[in-house]
Structure 1
Amino acid sequence: MKVEGSASQKEFALFQQTFTPIFNNLNAVVTQINNASEDKKPVLMTRYNETLQRLQSEVEKFITPRRSSYVSLFVVSATMQAAENVTDVEKRFALLGDNLKNTVAGKEIASYISYAKVGAIGTDALEFTQNDVNDKPVSLSSFRGKYVLVDFWASWCRPCRAENPNVVKVYNKFKDKNFTVLGVSLDQQKGAWTQAISKDGLTWTHVSDLQFWNNAVAQLYHVQSIPQNFLVDPKGKIVAKDLRGEDLEKKLCEYLGCN
């Protein structure tokens, strides 16, 4: 008598054979990065990114011919945190059969995708309307056709106030190049909010419902810390997020030019 493993067992063995060396390599490079001097980190980061790209490639190669395999469901789940963005996870999940999507694990992945898509790069910016400092309603869609930096901040937030001069600099540099800023404040007191706007020289449009962390727009975008921002392109797509200091200017230079 000869007893052999099931088809799923063979597929899991293939998963281990394919992915274990990649995971081990990633972990080893991360350890090296953490212990390396600053001058050696760029080379190690390149190696890390190359290994990560290999991982992404192997995921799709594995699941595409095995769309009804529970091992494919496991592969999507085990690698989704390492994906470059949630849209990649969504595409891979879409390849799976309904028998897998309707499992408990499948529903957990679907829930993760739904949550992670909010504010993710490559997704549509969620529409909102909130009152400005003159109690006039302002909608994000009213800026369609421009690059818009949706900037979450507050007068009481010291890191936000420290970053404001950089945002002012960038706004002044690019405001005539189809760019603007839409500030969303998590303030509670209108006086403190408007005084900070004036003191910091924030001459763009600002909105708030003065509900602190319960600000409706912050809740909509799952904002849990500030400063936080999202760069929206003229078509309403989020093309970048969490841009600070020189990174903000560099990203705008990519889209709008610096000459």
Structure 2
Amino acid sequence: MRKISLIIGLALLSSVACHAQEGYQISGKVSGMADGTLLLIANEGEKPDTLGTIGVKNGTFVFTGKVERPVAAYLSPANGEGMIPLILENANFMINVSNAGALIQGGKQQELLSRFTRISQSFMAEQAKVAAEARQPGADVAALQARVDQAYEASVNATLELIKAHPDEYATVHVIALGIDSETEEGLRSKYELLGEAARATVPGKRIAAALEQYGKLAVGEVAPNFTLAKPDGNTFSLHDVPAKWKLVHFWAARVESSRRDNADLVKLYLQYRPRGLEIVSVALDDNHAMWKQAVGLDGMIWTNGSDLKGMDSGIARLYLVNDLPAYFLLDAENRVVARGMALPALRDKLAELTRKRKKQE
């Protein structure tokens, strides 16, 4: 089950829309903050862009300026410890930060973002409540799971209805873009198709379009993107140069115990199908060479292993739009995608089917 992805840092408890104006003014109070410097940073492109710097005195501050269009931004102390996200537009904002979170008032887009956030918060609250009840003796786990499923479906439907009601607003496309890394292709595409042209033309709209285009490059029948990685011994290899009738590209991480759950079965699969032309290429999304190398040995991964040691920031993970671990892509001898998005048991059945067909052809 996938949660609605609304990762926006501090909880946005409420917001009030205000009229458009020539510029913006952000007035705020941060409880317990020492005098220092506060930065206003646009967070829309590949690199953060500092829009303004202001001194904080007795926890209070005021930013003024002007933007050409709404933009995702955040406030952060100069030391980078913490941030307050908001959608910046030409409006008056009032921000009050305390131990309870951040109260943001002002801005049409901020108000809409808060509506999306409340949907997510409602689902997470129900999920937490069910989890607590599930720990009680005699809990009806099946009934509790049904409640979670029902709450999840309600949150999805409420989100879709809000998207439909505001298809061209920046906050709408911003929320959808936040979910790129945790959304299924089907879910992402269905939400994108609800957007208007103005929303699609924004920076987050273009990010969503690029992700969907990349999904298209990973479709069954397409040539899988090539990559070159270092092996544990420091030598390199390229995916397309690995000779095999079938290649199973396997994404995992030594540091994530749950992602190693299939490794024992992968060894059995490799020993069974290696004589029939299977090669496994495991891509570790780790950043610790020693941990990765040790796990390869402990788990008996005797096939091709590689990593760029960038963890989940790996360019290969982005290239293959990997969100969950483990993840698999089955390729043929011409490096075309045969299957993807399958769990290991389904892939085992697929390999059995493919090898039977190949044997008949031979």
Fold in common (TM above 0.5): yes
1:167 — aligned with what?
Answer: 266
C-alpha contact (below 8 Å) 1:122/1:237 kept by paired residues: yes
Deviation at 1:110, TM superposition (A): 6.2
Task: Specify the alignment match of 1:117 in structure 2.
Answer: 216
Q: Conserved in 2, the CA contact under 8 Å of 1:163 and 1:244?
A: no
Q: What's the secondary structure of 1:257's corresponding residue?
A: helix
Partner of 1:186: 285
Residue 237 in structure 1 maps to residue 336 in structure 2: yes
Who is 1:256 aligned against?
A: 355
Q: For 2:223, what is the secondary structure of its paired residue?
A: coil
Question: What is the distance in 2 between the residues matched to 1:151 and 1:169?
Answer: 15
For 2:211 and 2:309, locate their aligned partners in 1 and report how far apart those are by CA, in whole Å. Answer: 30
1:215–1:245 CA distance, 2 compared to 1 (3 A): same
Which amino acid in 2 is paired with 1:135?
G
Structure 1 residue runs of 5 or longer lacking an equivalent are 1-79, 87-102
Q: What TM-score do you get using the length of structure 2 for normalisation?
A: 0.41
Distance 1:132 1:81 in 2: 34
| Higher strand residue share | 2
Q: Answer 1 or 2: which has greater helix percent.
A: 1
1:13-65: per-residue Cα shift (whole Å, max 9, x none)? xxxxxxxxxxxxxxxxxxxxxxxxxxxxxxxxxxxxxxxxxxxxxxxxxxxxx
Cα offset, 1:81, TM superposition: 4.5
Q: Give 1:214 deviation, angstroms.
A: 1.3
AA paired with 1:210?
L
1:222 to 2:321 alignment: yes
Q: Mapping of 1:34-113 within 5 angstroms?
A: 81=186, 111=210, 113=212
**Alpha-carbon distance between aligned partners in 2 of 1:81 and 1:216, rounded to the nearest angstrom:** 23
2: CA distance between counterparts of 1:81 and 1:141? 28
Report the equivalent of 2:247.
148
* Aligned partner of 1:199 among 291, 298, 301: 298
Residue of structure 2 equivalent to 1:20: none
CA contact (8 A) 1:144 1:235 kept: no
Q: Which runs of 5+ in 2 are unaligned?
A: 1-184, 190-196
Structure 2 residue identity aligned to 1:216: G
Change (3 A) 1:251 1:211: same
TM-score, with length taken from structure 1:
0.56
Q: What is the count of residue pairs matched by the alignment?
A: 165
- Could you say if the C-alpha distance between residues 112 and 157 of structure 1 is closer, same or farther in structure 2, counting changes exceeding 3 Å? closer
- DSSP-derived class of the 1:138 partner: strand
Separation (CA, whole Å) in 1 of partners of 2:243 and 2:262: 25
Displacement of 1:144 in angstroms is 4.7
Q: Using the alignment, how far apart are the partners of 2:281 and 2:317 within structure 1? A: 13
Q: Partners of 1:159 and 1:120 in 2: how far apart?
A: 27
Greater RCO, CA 8 A, separation 6+: 1
Instruction: State which drifts further: 140-149 or 103-112.
Output: 103-112
